[in-house]
């Protein structure tokens, strides 16, 4: 986020590059930067003749270069934005000649999403040296809750830790989806509000009591009653936690618990860093480790592999998912 702020501040200060190459696995920041450039490099009066938006699937590198070499009309610059530039990946190297001699009155923007160009390519090195290359990387899962908090702070809101965790657990690290859900909450709640788990449950539809986060917590604490309640809820509301996601979450949880047992330094900061989790979860792992010794954790991981196979029909005798999960709970708790 700091790099994005710097790019925007440079543009505001008049330090505008001739080429912006935005690439990476995380589309959210690429879209946001592209949107900012599209809105702010020209006045509304100038855009009619001097701003062009092209799409990778509908254009060619030769056509982009041809347009980029034009001169602006009654303006200091023209702006050409190539969205979905990843669709040009097979021929993108043809841009090299233009990169070596760009039109100084053109701002050429490439939005290259869901992947990146090899940084060793000479033309990309030239853009990085003389213009701007921005790489948008996927946010690690354990950093998502903090990202939500910072985004909301910038918009005049706060959020309770559990509410942020609920959003992260349900939506993963898809920042665009999370941002859309946050926008819904901002419409409903007045500025200055603190977003609670109740707000998330009521307005987004994520249960604050019956979710994977609470299931893991219940299993780790050996709270049989709560764990069975949550699994029954999942069975009655299959969209709330698809079985593929549920099994993956349980596997990740117990794999991390195995790592926890192997740590010499079990301070909150070191555990969070070593396991790649939000510090909010460290106490939960401490409790689970007391209930599940290392040997037991290994057995649970083996059992999770078994239920993964059973859920796919391997040796399950066509048992309903709920029965498979109940059998799992009985065997591990």
Q: What is the pLDDT along the chain (333 residues), one digit of tens a residue?
A: 688 989 999 999 999 999 999 999 999 999 999 999 999 999 999 999 999 999 999 999 999 999 999 999 999 999 999 999 999 999 999 999 999 999 999 999 999 999 999 999 999 999 999 999 999 999 888 889 899 999 999 999 999 988 998 898 888 888 999 999 999 999 999 999 999 999 998 988 888 888 888 899 999 999 989 998 988 888 888 776 666 678 888 899 999 999 999 999 999 999 998 998 888 889 999 999 999 999 999 999 998 888 877 766 665 556 677 777 777 888 777
State whether 196 and 222 are in the same domain.
Answer: no
Whether residue 107 is found in the same domain as residue 185: no
Q: What are phi and psi of 115, to 5 degrees?
A: 170, -175
Answer with the one of 186, 204, 222 that is the final residue of a domain.
204
Is the same domain home to 81 and 33?
A: yes
Residue appearing with tokens 């948008």: 136
319 with 255, same domain: the answer is: yes
- Tell me: do 80 and 158 sit in the same domain: no
Ramachandran bin of 160, using left for φ above 0, alpha for ψ from -120 to 50, beta for the remaining angles: beta
The whole domain housing 117 covers 2-135
Residues 122 and 183 in one domain: no
Q: Tokens 């239920």: give the residue.
A: 307
Predicted local confidence at residue 172, as pLDDT: 82
Looking at 167, 185, 204, which one is the last position of a domain? 204
Same domain, 227 and 108: no
219 and 296 co-located in one domain:
yes
> What's the pLDDT at 88?
95
- What's the confidence (pLDDT) of residue 311? 67
- In sequence order, the 6+-apart residues with CB closer than 8 A to the CB of 131 are 17, 18, 19, 20, 21, 102
Q: Are residues 149 and 123 in the same domain?
A: no
Nearest CA among 147, 199, 211, 138 for reference residue 174? 138
Q: Which of 332, 221, 333, 231 is nearest to 284 (CA)?
A: 221
* Other beta carbons within 10 Å of 188: 12
Q: What is the pLDDT of residue 315?
A: 59
Strand positions, DSSP E, the chain:
19-24, 51-55, 78-83, 106-113, 132-135, 158-159, 194-195
108: domain CATH number is 3.40.50.300
Q: Could you tell me the pTM of the whole model? A: 0.75
For strands 78-83 and 106-113, give the pairing: parallel
Among 119, 135, 151, the domain boundary falls at 135
Regarding whether 42 and 130 lie in a shared domain, the answer is yes
- Both 17 and 115 in one domain: the answer is yes
Would you state the pLDDT for residue 264? Answer: 93
| Domain tally, the chain | 3
Query: Which CATH number belongs to the domain containing residue 278 in this structure?
Result: 1.20.272.10
Question: Tell me, what CATH number does 159's domain have?
Answer: 1.10.8.60
């Amino acid at each position: 986020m700091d790099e994005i702020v710097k790019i925007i501040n440079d543009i505001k200060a008049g330090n505008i590059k001739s080429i912006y190459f935005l690439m990476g696995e995380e589309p959210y920041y690429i879209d946001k930067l592209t949107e900012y450039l599209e809105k702010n490099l020209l006045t509304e009066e100038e855009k009619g003749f001097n701003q062009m938006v092209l799409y990778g699937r509908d254009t060619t590198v030769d056509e982009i270069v041809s347009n980029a070499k034009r001169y602006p009309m009654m303006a200091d610059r023209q702006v050409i934005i190539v969205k979905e530039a990843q669709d040009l990946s097979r021929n993108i190297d043809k841009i090299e000649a233009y990169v070596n001699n760009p039109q100084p009155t053109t701002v050429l923007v490439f939005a290259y999403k869901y992947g990146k160009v090899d940084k060793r390519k000479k033309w990309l090195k030239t853009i990085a040296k003389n213009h701007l290359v921005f790489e948008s990387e996927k946010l690690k899962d354990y950093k998502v809750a903090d990202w939500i908090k910072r985004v909301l702070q910038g918009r005049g809101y706060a959020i309770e830790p559990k509410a942020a965790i609920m959003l992260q657990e349900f939506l993963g690290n898809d920042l665009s989806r999370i941002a859309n859900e946050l926008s819904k909450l901002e419409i409903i709640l007045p500025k200055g509000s603190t977003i609670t788990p109740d707000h998330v449950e009521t307005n987004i539809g994520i249960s604050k009591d019956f979710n994977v986060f609470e299931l893991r917590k219940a299993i780790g604490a050996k709270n049989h009653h709560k764990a069975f309640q949550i699994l029954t809820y999942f069975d009655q509301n299959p969209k709330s936690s698809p079985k593929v996601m549920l099994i993956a979450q349980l596997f990740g949880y117990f794999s991390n618990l195995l790592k926890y047992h192997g740590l010499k330094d079990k301070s909150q900061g070191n555990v969070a860093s070593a396991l790649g989790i939000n510090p909010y979860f460290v106490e939960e792992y401490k409790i689970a480790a007391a209930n599940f010794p290392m040997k037991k954790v290994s057995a649970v991981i083996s059992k999770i592999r078994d239920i993964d196979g059973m859920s796919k029909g391997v040796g399950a005798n066509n048992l309903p998912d709920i029965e498979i999960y109940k059998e799992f709970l009985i065997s591990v708790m």
